[in-house]
Each structure stands twice: as C-alpha cells, then as structure tokens.
Amino acid sequence: MRADQSHRRFIGLEGCDGTGKTTLRQRIAKDLSKLSPQLLEIGQHSWIDPDAARVILNVREQRHTYEPAIIEEAYRRDKWLHEITNIRPMLQEGVVLADRTIISDAVYQEALYGIDAATTISRYIDDGYLFPGTLIYVFVDINTAVDRIAKRGKHRRHYEREVDLRRIRDIYLRILPMCQASIGLHVIRFENISGELETRYKLIIEPELKSIVGNLHQMEVA
C-alpha cells in the first residue's frame, strides 16, 4: 500500500524526551476535539502482534539483546499493523494525532542499537509506509530537557541521560531534512520554552490545526 505523503490530517509529534511533547499533545488534542468531530490519539506502537511487542519491550527495557534484523522486523510489523488497523481507517473521516511515529523508530534505533536511521527511513519509504502529513518537532536545549526529566520524579530510563539526549537530538536534526527532501514532509519546528507556550502555540500551532481541519470540512462538503 503506497502512502499518501501529503495527508496532513495525520499529525505526528516528535522530539527527544524532556521536550514537553506530552503537555503540547494534550493541548493540541483539546483544540482538535473542538474543531473535528473525529479524532484518534495514538502512541508510537500498536502492540497488536505479541511477538513484535515482546521484542520491542525487551530491547527498550534492556531485558534481552537481539540481532538488528530481529529488532527492525519487530518495529516494522508493529508499525504496519498500526497503520492498517488504526491510522488509515480514521483518516477516511477524521484526524489522527500520534505521539511519536515511524521517524522515532529510525532515530532511536540508531541512537540505542546502532541501526542506521537513514537506511530505516529509506526502507519505510520504499515499502510505502504511511508517514505523517504534518510533523511537529518539539525541542528545547538539552540542559532544559535533562532538568524536566529529573523533575518528573520517576525512574529515569537508560536513554534519558544527557549524552543519549544529545545523540538523539543530533539524529533528528540529520533525519528531518532528509524526510522533507525525499517525501515532502511538512515539518513545524516548535521550541517549547517555559512561560512562552501560549503565545508561541497561538502563533505557530493553532493556524496549522485550523488549516488541517478546514481541509477536512471542505472534503465533507464536497
């Protein structure tokens, strides 16, 4: 199934941990629920296939090691099921808001398992996987991200150290231009600065949401 890369109603949020994606996603979801009668919020994984889910959880929690090909296949299987079961059906009539997408697969697989991100992206493109039509890349300086993670008061995951966050950020900065050039990905860069969220949201995010949902209403009328 060839992906329609211009499908703006599939909105993805990306960025390293500690950037404030969750808070921003909640705000976006609240506004979208007012603008669109149909909204599906999803996470990065479908968890539909038990074998794929087991591999993903084991490597993410460092419970077990696998050959790179096994990791890649687990992620690909999970994403394919996410696409055909959850994302594409909703896009027939509404909006999908995803907290992380297949771009996270590529970034984190390189950062954590040494699997080249550019190669992963190219394979997803070649096989027709569905990329978000609108991608919101959320970022802050790494010191701020580290501080925010610490303030959560939760057990810190192994990839939430400063050195990992810097590596993840650098991969994003390398991969996003590739996605823009190769599939025309519409990227919105949003610096999530404390104290300026509301002003920047209204300036950068709100017009995009209205445009996306406006296109949906035009389709319904037609």
Output the pLDDT for position 178. Answer: 94
Output the pLDDT for position 194. Answer: 81
Total domains, the chain: 1
Q: For residue 20, what are its two tokens?
A: 């404030």
* DSSP letters spanning 173-207: HHHHHHHHHHH--EEEEEE--TT-HHHHIIIIIHH
CATH no. for residue 30?
Answer: 3.40.50.300
Task: Let me know if residue 184 belongs to a domain.
Answer: yes
Output the pLDDT for position 35. Answer: 84
Task: Let me know if residue 5 belongs to a domain.
Answer: no
Distance CA 40, CA 96 (A): 5
Task: Let me know if residue 167 belongs to a domain.
Answer: yes
Distance CA 208, CA 220 (A): 19
Output the pLDDT for position 7. Answer: 78
Output the pLDDT for position 216. Answer: 56
Q: Which residues of the chain have pLDDT under 70?
A: 1-6, 215-222
Distance CA 222, CA 11 (A): 23
What angle in degrees, to the nearest 10, is found between the helix axes of 117-126 and 162-183? 30
Q: Could you list the residue range(s) of the whole structural domain that residue 109 is in?
A: 10-45+95-221
Output the pLDDT for position 215. Answer: 59
Output the pLDDT for position 36. Answer: 72
